[in-house]
């Protein structure tokens, strides 16, 4: 049973990137942390020699593994205070060239796996009347970019889900934060990104051009994953947790610009919008 003064963290997708950096940060603070990966051997080093760490196999598309992992976490530490839904990956293709099997597989991990993980921890959080769920989305949760339409759709789905969860959870002491990073210096493009090559000439200058630059950008991104981890921890410690935490200057600039444009367009059609009601 973990000390009540130390939050118990459960992080999915800890083998690389944000998940690994966040796990290192929580463990270095001495906080009980469940570190997971589809192959727990990839996170064994994080847990080695640490009684406050628990490494587990977890594929978020496997309902049985989700149930077993949450049970193991509660048996060892008594509870889960913070769930970080980080597991997932990207897929790039033009909309027309997207492959059904690839699209559905990504939705299984990024959307349905996240939904299932959240449902698994909610009973405990509800009974204790406290908890915090961090859903790792993306600036793609606010906008679509050429070649990333299907990926953006998964992140938009998580944003809508999180809006509802925040309203349902607030009276129960459960907080929800969506973390929306821009480009960060992880191996996401090399290890966590799939592509269907562009072959239709008409998309060569849009989806095709963006896909061609993705791999070359890997390792040059301005975002620091360790600083992102500290920002996420700060969000959980804030008296008023942010509903949205946008990380990185590129993400902040693009998201705020997009939201401003969207609001402006909606307001430009206000008269037409209001005219759709029955007359008084």
Q: Is residue 9 within 8 Å of residue 34, measured between CB atoms?
A: yes
Give the span between the Cα atoms of 191 and 1, in whole angstroms: 36
C-beta separation of 36 from 59 below 8 A: no
151 is catalytic: yes
Task: Please write down the long-range contacts of 160-166, taking CB distance under 8 Å and 24 or more positions apart.
Answer: 161/111, 161/114, 161/115, 161/135, 162/133, 162/135, 162/137, 162/243, 165/118, 165/133, 166/243
Give the DSSP letter of residue 184: B
Given a contact cutoff of 8 angstroms between Cβ atoms, the answer to whether 47 and 54 are in contact is yes
In angstroms, what is the C-alpha Rg of the chain?
A: 20
Annotated catalytic residue, options 89, 91, 150, 151: 151
The catalytic residue positions are: 151
């Amino acid at each position: 049973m973990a000390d009540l003064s130390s939050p118990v963290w459960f992080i999915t997708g800890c083998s690389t990137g944000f998940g690994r950096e966040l796990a290192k940060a929580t463990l270095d603070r001495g906080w009980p942390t469940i570190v997971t990966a589809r192959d727990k051997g990839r996170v064994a080093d994080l847990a080695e020699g640490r009684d406050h760490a628990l490494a587990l196999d977890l594929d978020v598309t496997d309902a049985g593994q989700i149930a077993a992992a949450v049970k193991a976490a509660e048996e060892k530490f008594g509870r889960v205070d913070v769930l970080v839904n980080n597991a997932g990956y990207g897929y790039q293709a033009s909309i027309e060239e997207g492959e059904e099997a690839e699209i559905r597989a990504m939705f299984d991990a990024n959307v349905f796996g996240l939904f299932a993980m959240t449902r698994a921890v909610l009973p405990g959080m509800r009974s204790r009347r406290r908890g915090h769920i961090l859903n790792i989305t993306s600036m793609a949760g606010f906008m679509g970019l050429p070649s990333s339409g299907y990926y953006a759709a998964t992140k938009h789905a998580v944003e809508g889900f999180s809006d509802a969860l925040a309203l349902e959870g607030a009276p129960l002491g459960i907080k929800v934060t969506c973390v929306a990073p821009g480009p960060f210096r992880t191996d996401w493009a090399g290890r966590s990104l799939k592509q269907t090559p562009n072959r239709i000439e008409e998309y060569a200058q849009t989806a095709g051009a963006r896909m061609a630059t993705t791999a070359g950008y890997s390792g040059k991104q301005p975002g620091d994953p360790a600083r992102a981890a500290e920002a996420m921890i700060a969000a959980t410690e804030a008296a008023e947790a942010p509903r949205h935490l946008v990380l990185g200057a590129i993400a902040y600039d693009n998201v705020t610009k997009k939201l401003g444009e969207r609001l402006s367009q909606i307001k430009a059609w206000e008269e037409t919008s209001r005219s759709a009601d029955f007359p008084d």
